Amino acid sequence: MVLVYNMSTLSVFFTRADKLKIDTSRIVRADYADAAYASLGCEAQKLWRGEWGAQNRYHETGLCLSGEVGAEEYVTKSYENVCTLESADTIKAFDCNAKMAQATGTEGACGSMGYINKNSGWADAEATMRFLRAKVVAKNRAVAYIEVTPGEAATLSKLPVQLNVSNGMFFIPPPPPDKLPQPAGQHSKGKFYLKVARHAYGYLNPTTISNPENLSENITISLPQTNPDHPLGAQPIPQQALNDMRDYLNTIIPPSSPLSAIPKRPWQHSRLCHYADTPTSDWLLSYHPAYNKSLFVATGGSGHGFKFVPVIGEKIVDCLLEKCEEIFTEKWAWREKVDGEKWAGDGSRSGPQGMILSEEMKKGAARESKI
């Protein structure tokens, strides 16, 4: 027997608006420095181009992956991996910011080197979750949105997603006005948003709770701070995060760009993405060792699991049946907590570690969503 627990009481919106996957967009890429994830990403992309991405759920606009001096390794390895997996004719490398800026379409770029992979793109996260539910029935990161006009959306929709691994900043364009997913999701409702976010180490929200396995003691964990009552799950974020994202937007859309009016506009709303991180950003797909194979855990998405939705189900089943592919056996195995262990991730993040959300919020007034 399978039981599905859902905190939502709204039948029309099958899950709460503050959940990570109820959002306008998620990057879909095979651009990984780790060859195993790159291969799995390529496998997922093939399905995104079919039924999974139909009805305007998937947009293959390309991805510009960039980095600064000193952070070239992740970008270089990712480039080598995708060139092995995809046609090199659709992937172009750049050795300086000027060449990269010319190719992005915004006349601006963040980073001193990188490449554009035309085989990657983005998917409408909410529309995909609705599609997935229909098939079944029949750590905090800063995100902010700027509303754009239908004309600007038409221009932006032709541009690649941009992701800089040195500062974690990225932006995802809106869909073309004539290719909105149907039915309209909670986020769109006929409006167009440029999404700007930072895939960094994020914020902690330390919370003390009773240890479920030993009620006589307490443990401290980081729990999501959410706003389930807002229709979009919007909530204030640290002012420094808004400032950094504004600086990034001004970099990739400079005054010389025909889209230069966009960075001057106010943020329409902001929210926090809640990650289930692991120290290496590898997932945790394993039986809990203390429950004699009666409890299987599938978690640890670490902010990069959504793109694998078309293939992750069968991988979980493989792990349940103890038939996991050898290249993933160690990556997805149960790992005991190690005191003092560094959370390095997979090399795609940057910035300070261990920031406390409540402390960062006190450093500057953060605006509420006006939606």
What's the domain range around 70?
26-276+352-362
The pLDDT of residue 342: 65
CA gap 156, 175 in Å, rounded: 8
Q: Is residue 13 part of a domain?
A: no
Asked whether the predicted pLDDT for residue 11 surpasses 50, the reply is no
CA gap 13, 303 in Å, rounded: 23
Q: Which of 70-74, 219-223, 243-247, 344-348 has the lowest mean pLDDT?
A: 344-348
The pLDDT of residue 41: 97
Domain total for the chain?
1
Q: Is residue 330 part of a domain?
A: no
Cα–Cα distances in angstroms (integers) from residue 233 to residues 228, 230, 305, in the given order: 6, 5, 20
Asked whether the predicted pLDDT for residue 7 surpasses 60, the reply is no
Asked whether the predicted pLDDT for residue 10 surpasses 70, the reply is no
The pLDDT of residue 336: 79
Q: Is residue 303 part of a domain?
A: no
- For the segment 120-131, what is each residue's pLDDT rounded down to a tens digit? 999 998 888 888
Asked whether the predicted pLDDT for residue 182 surpasses 70, the reply is no
Asked whether the predicted pLDDT for residue 69 surpasses 90, the reply is no
Domain of 115: which CATH number?
3.30.9.10
Specify the pTM.
Answer: 0.84
Banded model confidence at residue 370, pLDDT cuts 50, 70, 90:
very low
Q: Is residue 250 part of a domain?
A: yes
The pLDDT of residue 13: 45
Bigger pLDDT: 184 vs 85: 85
Tokens for 320? Answer: 């349940």
Burial group, residue 206, by CB count within 10 angstroms (0-12, 13-18, 19+) = exposed
Asked whether the predicted pLDDT for residue 283 surpasses 80, the reply is yes
Banded model confidence at residue 119, pLDDT cuts 50, 70, 90:
very high
Asked whether the predicted pLDDT for residue 365 surpasses 80, the reply is no
CA gap 370, 147 in Å, rounded: 12
The pLDDT of residue 238: 93
Q: Is residue 244 part of a domain?
A: yes
Banded model confidence at residue 64, pLDDT cuts 50, 70, 90:
very high
Q: Is residue 141 part of a domain?
A: yes
Portion of the chain with pLDDT greater than 70, in percent: 85
Asked whether the predicted pLDDT for residue 73 surpasses 50, the reply is yes
Q: Is residue 120 part of a domain?
A: yes
Asked whether the predicted pLDDT for residue 311 surpasses 90, the reply is yes
Asked whether the predicted pLDDT for residue 160 surpasses 80, the reply is yes
Q: Is residue 85 part of a domain?
A: yes
Asked whether the predicted pLDDT for residue 368 surpasses 60, the reply is no
